[in-house]
Amino acid sequence: MTHPTLGRAASTPGVPVPGRPAEPVAVRIAVDLLGGDGAPAVVVDGALRALAADPDLRLLLVGPGEVADEVIRALPRADRDRASVRPLRGAVSMADPPYRGVRSDTTVRGAALAVAEGAADALVSAGATGAIVTAAVLSLSRWPGIRRPALLATIPAIAGPVALLDVGGSVEARPITLAGHALLGAAYASIVHAVPRPRVGLLSIGHEPGKGDRARRTTDPMLADLKLGGDAHYVGLVEGYDVSSGERADVVVTDGFTGNILLKGIEGAYAMAGGPPPGRAAPRAAALLGVHGTVVICHGGATPDDLASGLALAANLHRNHTIPRIATALADLIEVTT
C-alpha cells in the first residue's frame, strides 16, 4: 500500500489523500460560514489557514456579509480576490431537523447550490450532517442506483488507511444500502488511497459467518456475490478492532449509526492516548459519496485546523477528479443496487 506524495495542499495538516499527485490548479470551494459549533469564528480561522497553505485555493464564502468581510480583511491585500462572497443569513443548528437544509436561505443549501450552478467546485461544511446531506441531495442529485449517499472517513491504521463508511450519511442498515456502500468504498480506496486490490469487509461482532444482527446476516452473503469492480474483493465480516488495525480490510462497510459511533470512539481513544501513531493523522473530515459533486463534512466540533484539513481534502478530491472517477467506476456496476 503506497502513499505517494501529494501536491501542495497536502502540506496542510489533515486527512491524507494518497493517489495521483494533485495538480496545483485553482480550485474554488464554497464554505459554509455558519456550520459547526464554533461558527463563524472557527470557520473564519480555518478558511484563512487553508488559503495560506494552498496558494491555488479560492473560497466562496457563504454566510453573513460581515463575517465574509472579516475573512477578506484578514487576507494580504494581494490575495483578497481569492475570496468572494454569497451573502446568506440562514443557519441550521445541530438541534434543527435535517429538512431545514432544504431552505435556500440557509448557508448550507446556498453553498450546495453554488456547486450545482458551477460557481464552486466543492462544498465544505462543519454543520449538521443531516442538513448537509439533504442540501447536497436536493442541489446535486444522487447517482443512479444509490439509495443513500454515504459519508466516508479515512481511519489511520498501522497497515494503511482504512475507508470506513457510512459514518453518518444516513442511519439506515438495509442490506441494499450496505451493498451500495461497499461499491462506493471499494472505488474510493482504489482511486483515493491507491490500494490496488481493495479488501472490503462488513463490520460485525465476529469474523465467522452468521455473527451479527439480521441486517448483517443478510448482507454478508449478498456482498460475497456482488461484483465490486476492479480488483476489489469481499473478505467477509470484520470487527471494530480491524478498523483500527487495518490488517483485514481496506474498506469497512457499516450503517451510519454504527459507523459514526465507532469513528468518534476511535477519535476519543486517540485523544485520550495522546494521539494516533506518528505519521498517521486522525480523521478530521469525511467525504460524501453518491451525489454529483464534491462534498466534505467536518465535525460539528471542528477546530480551525480541522476546517483547513477539510478544505484541503475537498481541494484534493476535486484536483484528482475523484468524484467523477468514482461515478464512472460505478456506472457499470450500479444496476446491482437498483
Q: How far is the CB of 195 from a copy of itself (least distance, A)?
A: 19
CA separation for the pair 184, 146 (Å, rounded)? 9
**Closer to a copy of itself at the Cβ: 4 or 265?**
265
Q: Map residue 282 onto helix, strand or coil.
A: coil
Q: List all residues 6 or more positions away from 43 whose beta carbon is below 8 Å from its beta carbon.
A: 31, 32, 33, 34, 35, 36, 63, 126, 307
**Closer to a copy of itself at the Cβ: 209 or 230?**
209
> 4: exposed, middle or buried (C-beta count within 10 Å: 0-12, 13-18, 19+)?
exposed
Q: How far is the CB of 54 from a copy of itself (least distance, A)?
A: 29
CA separation for the pair 44, 32 (Å, rounded)? 10
- Residues 259, 264, 270, 276: is their CA dihedral positive or negative? positive
Q: How far is the CB of 242 from a copy of itself (least distance, A)?
A: 7
Number of C-beta neighbours around residue 335 at 10 A? 9
Query: Is the preceding omega at residue 21 within 30 degrees of 0, hence cis?
Result: no
Q: How far is the CB of 243 from a copy of itself (least distance, A)?
A: 6
Count of alpha carbons within 13 Å of 239, Cβ hemisphere only? 7
- Hunting for cell 442490506 — which residue is that? 175
Contact 125, 35 (CB under 8 A): yes
Q: How far is the CB of 94 from a copy of itself (least distance, A)?
A: 5
Q: List all residues 6 or more positions away from 81 whose beta carbon is below 8 Å from its beta carbon.
A: none
**Closer to a copy of itself at the Cβ: 64 or 168?**
168
**Closer to a copy of itself at the Cβ: 199 or 216?**
216
CA 214 to chain CA centroid, nearest Å = 28
Q: How far is the CB of 130 from a copy of itself (least distance, A)?
A: 9
Q: How far is the CB of 261 from a copy of itself (least distance, A)?
A: 4
**Closer to a copy of itself at the Cβ: 224 or 269?**
269
Where along the sequence are the contacts to a copy of itself (CB under 8 A)?
A: 94-95, 97, 128, 156-158, 168, 171, 173, 203-210, 212-213, 216, 239-245, 254, 256-258, 260-277, 280, 300
